[in-house]
A and B are shown apart, each in its own frame.
Chain A
C-alpha cells in the first residue's frame, strides 16, 4: 500500500491520471477496510461530492480529508465524541469547513476523538478508543487520535484536528505524522465545538509539512463570526517552504531537557538536532522559567472555561435528553449524568470549583496571572532565538488502559505542549525516528503568526529524512 501526500494527489488529479471521484473512492475503500481495526472514524460520509465548488481552479479541488468530529459540518452527525451529541446533526458548517468546501475538498468522514476533546489517549470517547496503527494495543494519543490514526494508516491523506493543550501535536507524535497547531486566532473557531475557548485552535494532521502548508493557507483567515480570530494577513505558506535555514537560531529550553527524558528518546532528539545543524542552524540553550507551572495553570483555565462552555448541553434544545422530566433539577442532573462521560464530569466539577465564590482569586485569577508570565517567557525567548525546539512528548505511544485510572499521569502527557496553548504561539510536531518500532516526535515552536517559519524548518528536515514517510505494518498486511 502506498500513502499519498496531498501534494502527490494534486499532481495526479491535475495530470488526469486519476479523477477526484476515484481518489475519493480509493480512500472510502481504505476506510471501510481498516476502520474496524483502527476505529478512527465515528461516521463515514460516503455520499459527498466536490460539486458546487465556487473556485474551479482551486489547487486542492478534489482532495479528500478527514474531519475531527468536533467540527460542525452541515447535514452531518457531529458528536464531539460524546453520548450527549450522539443524535446531533449540525445545521451549519464551521468556518474552516466552509473555507475548505469552497476550495472543492471533500469530507471523507468524521474522526473519533476524546469526548469534547478532553483526554490524551482517545479513551474518553463514547465511541470506543482509537487504536494506534503502529501497535493496536497502544493509544494513538488524543484528543485528535482519530484524525492522527486516519492519516498514519492512509485512510485519509490529511485531517483536521483541534489543539487545546496538545491535542494535535501529541497524537501526531505518537502516530509518526506531522501535526500543526497554528497561532491562537489564525483559524476561526466558529463551528468548532468549544472546550476551552481561550486555548482551542484548529489545525492540521498530515504526512508532511508541505501538505500542512497547502491546507493551512485555505483554512486560515479572519472570520467576522469569531471575534477572537485575527485580521493578520494569511501568507502563502508554500512560498516559504524552501527558504534557506542557514543562520537561524533555535532555542533549547533547559526546562525541556532537564534529564527527565529517557535516554533512548534523548538519542533521537540529539540526532535530529545534528541533522538541523548540518543545514546551518545554530542551537542555543535558553530558559522558560515559568513553564513548570504550565500543567497546573492549564488544569485551572481549561476546566473553568469548559464548565461554562458545556452548560448548554442541558437536554432542552438538542442532544441527549433524559426521559425523567418529573422536575427541572432532576431532568438537568439525569440528562448530564447520562450524557457526559467521567473525564468530562471531572473537568466540569474542577472548573465549577475554581470559579466558585471564595476560590476564584486563588485559582482562576492566579492561573491567569501565571499564564501572562508564561507568555512573557516566550516573548523574552523570541528576542534571542527564531524558534524553540524540544520533544513533543516524554514517551512514545503507551498502552491502552495504562493511564486511564490515573488522571494526573495522563495530564502530564501534555507537559511539553500545553505552554504554547497558554501563550497562543504556533507549534508543530514532526517525526524524528523510532524507539522499539514506535514513532517519536519533535516539536518546534515559533512566535505568534510565524507558521511559515515552522513549516519551512520542518519541510527542509523532511527533504533530507524519511521518518515521516514510514508506513505502519498494519497497512502492509492489509495489502496482502
Chain B
C-alpha cells in the first residue's frame, strides 16, 4: 500500500522584546541563573501580570505579514499544570480568540514548485523556566530566567505532506520572523522551536490517520529527520496490523529516534479558563493600520525588485534575499557603489559568504563593512585593479583597517592599461616562448592562457587581462 504523510507544525518563536511578556524583567540570554526574574516571574503571592505592548505589536506584525486576521479582541487564558519550572502553576496563553487567526504562507520546494500552507492561528504566551537535570546528582536545578519570555506560537493547518515541505515551511517562518525583526531566531538558544503533528493515511483516503506529536525539534535538519523517522515508524506499525497510539513523542537527535513521552490517557487536563487578572486585549483598527504601514519589504518583494530593478539573476537574488542580514549588507553596499549590482551580488555570494562559512560568523560580525567593500569594487569597476588583485586585497582587508585605495597606493597596484607598455612585455614573452606561439598558430588555442599568465606574472598581475589577451592575439597574427 502506498501512504500519504500529513503534517502540521507548531512553531514557538521567542519574541525579541526587551522585557518579559508580563513583567519588567529583562529577557537577555545567558545571564546568571535566576537573575532575570521579578516577583511576577517567581509567582510570588499577590503579584499580577501586566501585558507587554511590544509583544502585542510583534504578533500583529506577524499576522499582517501572513495575511491573517488580527483579532480586535483576544483573550488570555490560564493553562494549568504543575511543574517546578512553571512558577505560578499555570502558563498564561491564549486558547479561544487568539490574536492572529487564519493566514497562509507560500513555500518553495527544492524542485522549484510552490505550495501554500495554511496557518490556523498564532497566539501569545509566556515561556516556562528551565529544569536542569544534569547539574547536581539526584537533584533538579531550576533556572527561571526564561520564565515569562514572550512566545508566539504559530500553528499550521495539516497541509504539509512531506518532511521536505515541513523543513521549507519552518525555514520560511524562520526567515519571516527575522525579516520582521520580531525574533532573533536563534535555534541554539531555543528562540525558535518546533513540534510536529504527524500522521499517515492510505493515498486517497480523506480522513486523517491517528497522529502523534513529536516535540523538541530545534533545527531544520532535525525536523526532516524526526518526521522521516516517525513516518517510517507509523507505516511499519500499520503494515504490521498495529494501531497508532495518539501520544506525545520526544525526538532525540543523538539517537535519531522518537520515543513516547506521554499518551493521551495520561495527558494533562489543562483546565483552561480566561485569566481574570488580564482584561480582554482590545486592538483598534488604527493600530493595525499603523503597523501595516511600517511592515518591511519581505522576501518575495525583495527578490522581484532585485531581478527587475537591479537586473540580478533570479537564483542570486533569492540567495541574497534568503537571509535578511545578507540582503541588508548587499543593499548597504549598493548605497556606495551602484554601477554593477550583479558584481556586488557575485562578490557577496562567493567571497563574503565564503569567509562567513570559514570563520563561522554572522554577517554583522564580518570585518569588511559595506562601504569598504563598495570602494574595493569601485576600483575593479573603473579598471584601477583587476579582479584577481581585488581578491588579494579583499583578503588583506580582513585583517587591515585600511581602505582599498590606501592598499592600492601603498602597494602600487594600479592596473596597467597603457597599451605600449603591455605590448613591450607581450613581444618579450612571445620571443621567449616561440614554441607555444607556434602551437597556437597550429590551432591549439588553449595555449593562450599560458601566454597571458606569463604576461600577468611579469606585471605582478597589474596588467588588464582583457587587454593582454587582445594584444597577444594581435601580435601572434601579425
Contact = CB atoms under 8 A, between A and B. Distances in A.
Interface string A360-384: 1000100000000000000000000
A352 interface: yes
B44 interface: yes
Given A91-B39, A312-B88, A356-B269, A227 B276 contact: no
A316 interface: yes
A314 B87 CA distance: 9
B29 interface: no
Interface in A309-360: 310-312, 314, 316-318, 328, 332, 352, 355-357, 360
Nearest to A196: B276
A225 interface: yes
Given A317-B87, A332-B82, A356-B269, A312 B45 contact: yes
B271 interface: yes
A197 B276 contact: yes
Given A72-B46, A312-B88, A352 B51 contact: no
The DSSP consensus for interface residues of chain B is loop
Contacts of A90: 45-46
A227 B22 CA distance: 11
Contact of B271 (A312, A332, A352): A352
A230 to B, nearest CB: 11
Contact of B82 (A91, A304, A311): A311
Contacts of B269: 356-357
The size class of the interface chain A forms with chain B is 35 or more
A78 interface: yes
* Residue of A85, A193, A314, A328 ringed by the most chain B CB atoms within 10 A: A314
A224 interface: yes
B273 A190 contact: no
A364 B78 CA distance: 14
Interface in B24-55: 39, 42-51
B80 interface: yes
A360 B273 contact: yes
B427 interface: no
A228 interface: yes
B82 A314 contact: yes
A226 interface: yes
Most buried by A among B51, B269, B271: B271
A198 B51 CA distance: 17
B80 A355 contact: yes
Contacts of A314: 82, 84, 89
A225 B82 contact: no
Contacts of B45: 72, 78, 80, 85, 88, 90, 193-194, 312, 318
Interface string B77-114: 01010101001111000000000000000000000000
Interface in A119-158: none
Given A227-B51, A311-B88, A364-B273, A317 B46 contact: no
B48 A227 contact: yes
A271 to B, nearest CB: 40
Contacts of B89: 308, 310-312, 314
A72 B39 CA distance: 12
A228 B47 contact: no
B48 A225 contact: yes
Interface in A193-207: 193-194, 196-198
Contact of B279 (A228, A310, A312): A228
A355 B51 CA distance: 24
B46 A304 contact: no
A357 B272 CA distance: 9
Nearest to A197: B276
Contacts of A78: 45
22 contacts: A90-B45, A91-B39, A91-B44, A190-B48, A191-B46, A194-B46, A197-B276, A198-B276, A224-B50, A227-B48, A227-B279, A308-B271, A311-B82, A311-B89, A312-B44, A312-B87, A316-B87, A317-B87, A318-B44, A355-B273, A356-B269, A357-B271
Given A88-B45, A197-B276, 20 more contacts: A71-B46, A90-B46, A91-B39, A92-B44, A189-B48, A192-B46, A194-B277, A197-B277, A305-B276, A308-B90, A308-B271, A311-B82, A311-B88, A312-B45, A312-B88, A317-B44, A318-B45, A328-B84, A356-B271, A360-B271
Interface of A: 71-72, 78, 80, 85, 88, 90-92, 94, 189-194, 196-198, 224-228, 304-305, 307-308, 310-312, 314, 316-318, 328, 332, 352, 355-357, 360, 364
Smallest CB-CB A-B distances: 7 pairs: A311-B89, A355-B271, A197-B276, A198-B276, A312-B43, A191-B46, A193-B45
